[in-house]
Each structure stands twice: as structure tokens, then as C-alpha cells.
Amino acid sequence: MSNDDDWRKPLPDPLPYVASVPQTGWHFFQTEPGASSDLARKGVIPTVATGTRNKQALPRVLAQRLTTDPANA
């Protein structure tokens, strides 16, 4: 596997606290890196700023959001 496809690697179990946005997008939604960035920009993938331009995804927060039923919360 080339370095260009690193974002396709599955996330480990248990989920890490932070991961790259493309890798998180692939893990949960099977999206390409550009679409994953769009989801992060729209707030679908939660992120934390790690620099002036860098963001890391929060896969544990996303997993919790996807497993919680808003009607029962």
C-alpha cells in the first residue's frame, strides 16, 4: 500500500481519541478525502484544531453521535 492510500487503513479497535479526517471519513462513511473534508467543514465529522490550518477528527465522538438515537436522548 502506498502512502497515498494511508487514509484507507481501518481505524483500530478501540477507536483512538484523534485520527486524520480522511481516515475517519473512510471508516464511518466510505468517503474519499475531499468528501471527508467537506463533512468535517459542515460539522458532520467533529474535529479539533491542532494548528493554524490543521484539524484532527474525533472518531469516538462521532461513533457516540451515530449510535445515539435523538428521539430517545
Q: Where are the domains of the chain?
A: 16-67
Q: What is the pLDDT of residues 2-11, one digit of tens each?
A: 567 888 888 8
pLDDT at position 1 is 47
Which of 12, 8, 15 is closest to 36 using CA atoms?
8
Mean predicted confidence (pLDDT) in 8-30: 93
Give tens-digit pLDDT for 48-68.
999 888 999 999 999 999 998
Q: Give CA separation, 22 vs 33, 40, 60, in Å.
A: 5, 9, 15
Say which DSSP state 57 is in.
E
